[in-house]
Amino acid sequence: MEKLSVRFIALLAGIMIPAVAAVSASQPKVTLAAGTQIDVQLTTTISTSANQQGDPFLAEVEDPVFAGGEEVISPGSTLRGHIAFLKPAGRLRGRAEMRLVADDIVTKNGKQFSFKADLASLSSDAGVVKKKDDEGTLQGSGKGSKKTAEDAGIATAAGAGIGGISAGGTGALYGAGIGAVGGLIYALAKHNRNVVLSAGTELTFQLTTTGPESKASKNTLVSAPFVCATCQ
């Protein structure tokens, strides 16, 4: 009877231990908390003139990310995201806008953290691009219709003045006409500036959801020099 009990316990253990191990292996080991900030550097150039809504972008993690007091994402990991919203600059009014959303991070040791993160800030060397709202919408430096008209008027007056100097009163009329055309071109050139973020631009994303850990697969596409030695 005792031998039967021992065999039963051993058999039960042989069934339960692998089952528990399988359940533990399938569960995420680490979860990034909502609100976690991630500093990255773009590895692709994106702009409102060359890209479309939905296009992906890639960036390299610059600083280590910690969870539970331990480093879980090392510098050099790859962040992937997409352009969630894009509006090109209008010809006469309206500013170019673009909103970036980060989707996940793949580490070089084969871990993947999936989440949603909005743009929290960008480096000052991004030029005329500025952050418009809390969702991280970026805005170009285009002008409204009033300011565009003012710039055109200034250039028109300058054209008329040059025409008057060169050919008297009649020349001022020709100068005004040339100034009107030139003023409009000048105003449009200043107005129609797109949002451009070149490779190397530093960005900070903040998680708006949690980011559970999973194992990256071979189908996880990221840019060189990413190397995953342990991906399935």
d(CA 223, CA 215): 18
- pLDDT > 90 in the chain, percent: 44
Q: Are 206 and 136 in contact (CB under 8 A)?
A: no
pTM of the model: 0.64
Cβ neighbours of residue 142 closer than 8 Å, sequence gap 6 or more: 89, 90, 94, 95, 96, 191, 192, 193
Mean pLDDT of 66-85: 95
pLDDT, position 86: 95
Average pLDDT, the chain: 73
* pLDDT digits 0-9 by tens, 182-203: 444 444 444 447 899 999 999 9
Q: Are 190 and 150 in contact (CB under 8 A)?
A: no
* pLDDT digits 0-9 by tens, 18-53: 544 444 455 548 999 999 999 999 999 999 989 999
Q: How many CB atoms lie within 10 A of CB 82?
A: 14
* pLDDT digits 0-9 by tens, 210-219: 999 999 976 6
Say whether pLDDT at 162 is over 50. Answer: no
**Which phi and psi (to 5°) does residue 130 adopt?**
-135, 160
Domain boundaries, the chain: 29-142+194-215, 143-191
pLDDT range class, residue 124, cuts 50, 70, 90: low
CATH 3.40.630.10 fits 29-142+194-215, yes or no: no
3-state secondary structure of 86: strand
pLDDT, position 224: 38
The first and second tokens of residue 96, run together, are 């170019």
Mean pLDDT of 111-134: 82
The top-scoring range by mean pLDDT among 60-64, 66-70, 131-135 is 60-64
Mean pLDDT of 114-136: 80
Mean pLDDT of 119-147: 72
pLDDT range class, residue 11, cuts 50, 70, 90: low
pLDDT, position 115: 97
pLDDT, position 75: 97
